[in-house]
Structure 1
C-alpha cells in the first residue's frame, strides 16, 4: 500500500538527529567488529518504515535475525501477510511482544544456533569456544530494551516509552552461550522518505521534538481512512467512530481533528491531536497496522 501523506501536508519537516544518536552510531560502528549476530528490531505496525537504510552495511556477512516487535498491535491476518511477503524477500521474521515475553525464547534459540556454528569454526582453528556476541539494533522506542530484559529474565536495562532512553553501549551477559550489546536507538542522519518519517512519528518511534502533533494526528486519520477504504478486513470496523462517537470517513484528517476537538475537547485541537496519538499508541483504537505489504 502506497500513500502520499506528505503531499497533503507539504510536510518535509520531520528531521531528528540529536547529538547522542550521532555519538552512539559512531560507538556502535566501532563495536560491530566484535559482534557475531545482529538482532534487527522493527515495529510490527510499520516494518518497512523502521528498516534502517544502513542495516545491510552494518550487518555485512554476520548472521542477522529480524525481529518484528509489538505483534500484539496487529491482527494475525496482517502478521500472515508479512510472513508471506518477507518469504518473497528470502527473510524469516520473528514476531515478539517484548513487554509480555511472547516470542522471545525463539530469538534466544536463533542467536545461540548462530553461536554453535561460530564455535565449531573456532574449534576447527584450534581456538576455545566463547559466548556468541549479539547486538540489538533498531530505531528508538521499538522495544529493544524490553527485548533484552526479557532475554535476561530480569530488568537490567532501563526501558521507557520514550525514544532515546538508552544513551550508551553496554554488554550484558544473557547466559554462558550469549552476550548482548544493548545499543541506543539509531535513526538515519536524514529522513529522506517523509511518509515513513510520519509513520515513525505516529508510532512514537522518533523524538517528539521533531514533529507537530496536529500535523501527525491529521496524517494518522487520513491513513486510517485510506486503510478503511482499501483493506477494511485488516483493521477494526470504524475504529475512530467506536472510540470517539464521531465517524472519520467523510472528513479529511485535518477537518476531523477540528471536528473532534469541538465534539469532545471544547475546541482544543492540540489536546484532540495528543489524545488521538496516545490512544493509538496504547492500542485503545484496536489493532491498526500503518503499513501493509506492497505487492
Structure 2
C-alpha cells in the first residue's frame, strides 16, 4: 500500500518556527497537542530537539474520535515512555480540567525555585504547540474558560504567536500549527491529509481517499462492515482506488473527486464512527479479510 505524494510550502510557517523557538526559552511547560486518530503522525519530528529537557504534557485531543480500547492503548504507550498523557476534547471540554491541573502542578516547581532564590511567585507559562488543525486553539479556549483565540475546524486559523493570561496563575502561549518544511515519511503525511491536518491544496483527494480505505481495512477489524453499510461495497471490499471509482459511478455520475471528498468528509465528521488510523507500535493490526 503506497502513499500518494503530499507537498506543501506554507510561507508563514518558517517565520512562525523562528518565533516559536525564541519564545520557548520563556516557557515553563509545553503542552504538545496531537490528533488521537493519528498520534504518531501528528507529532512534530523536531519538537523533542526544540524542547530539550523542558517539562512536557501530551494532550491526546479528539479523544472521542477513537474507540475506548484504542485510546487506552495509546495512553499506556506514552506512559511507558515517561510522557504524561491526557485525553482531551477541545470542543466539549472533556478532560480539560485534569490537563489544567497537571499544568499548574508541573509549573509549581518553577515558583518553588524562585522562592528559594528570594523571588516572588509568578504565573506558570505554558505553550500549546502542535500540527495545524489538531485542536490547539479550541483546547486553549477551554483551558482559559473563555473564547480568547480564534478557533475553526480547518488548518491555518492561528497565524501568529500570542500570549493569553488566565488570572494570575497561568499564562498560555498559542502558536500557529507548525509543519516541518517537508515530511520524509509520506505515509505519515498522508494520514495528516486524511484527518484534515494539512491544507487541501497539498494533496490529491482521490489518492488520499483510496489510501484511507486501504489503511482503515488494515488497522480496524470492524471497518469492513462499516464501509459496506455506508457505501454499499461488496464483500470483499476492493482496493481503495477501485472502491472510490465504484462509488463515483454509482452515486456521482463518475465524479471520482466528489466521491473521494465524500469519503474523507464522512471520516472527518465522525459519521463512520470512532476509528483510529494508527495503533501503538506494540499493537498487532488484524489481517484483512
- For 2:269 and 2:46, the matched residues in 1 are separated by 30
Deviations 1:95-152 (A, max 9, x none): 0011000000111111111221110100000111100100000000000000011111
Other structure's SS at 2:191 match: helix
Structure 2 Cα separation of the partners of residues 108 and 217 of structure 1: 36
Residue 248 of structure 1, CA deviation: 6.7
| Matching of residues 110-121 of structure 1 within 5 Å | 110-121=102-113
Residues 156-187 of structure 1 show CA distances to partners (whole Å, capped at 9, x for unaligned) of 21111111110011100123210000000001
The CA distance in 1 between the partners of 2:102 and 2:167, in whole Å, is: 14
Distance 1:165 1:248 in 2: 41
Structure 1 residue 190 corresponds to structure 2 residue 182: yes
Q: Residues of 1 paired with 2:83 and 2:2: CA distance?
A: 28
Which of 241, 249, 253 pairs up with 2:240?
253
Query: Cα distance, 1:203 vs. partner?
Result: 0.2
Determine if the alignment matches structure 1 residue 177 to structure 2 residue 169.
yes
1:289 aligns with 2:286: no
Give the aligned CA root-mean-square deviation in angstroms: 1.3
Equivalent in the alignment of 2:218: 226
Structure 1 residues 136, 240: CA separation in 2 closer, same or farther (over 3 Å shift)? Answer: same
- Aligned to 2:57, the other structure's residue is in SS state strand
CA distance in 2: counterparts of 1:247 and 1:48, whole angstroms: 32
Match of 1:44 in 2: 36
Q: Distance in 1 between matches of 2:153 and 2:25?
A: 30
Over 6 Å off, 4+ runs: none
How far apart are residue 88 of structure 1 and its match? Answer: 2.5
Name the counterpart of 2:17. 25
Q: CA deviation at 1:265?
A: 1.5
- 1:5 is aligned to 2:9: no
Q: Give the TM-score normalised by structure 2.
A: 0.94
Picking from 71, 95, 105, the partner of 2:87 is 95
Give the TM-score normalised by structure 1: 0.92
1:203 pairs, out of 195, 208, 225, with 195
Structure 1 position 17, deviation (Å) = 3.0
Compute the displacement of 1:244 (Å).
1.9
Is there any run of 5+ residues in structure 2 with no aligned partner, and where? 283-289
Q: How many residues align?
A: 282
Query: What corresponds to 2:76 in structure 1?
Result: 84
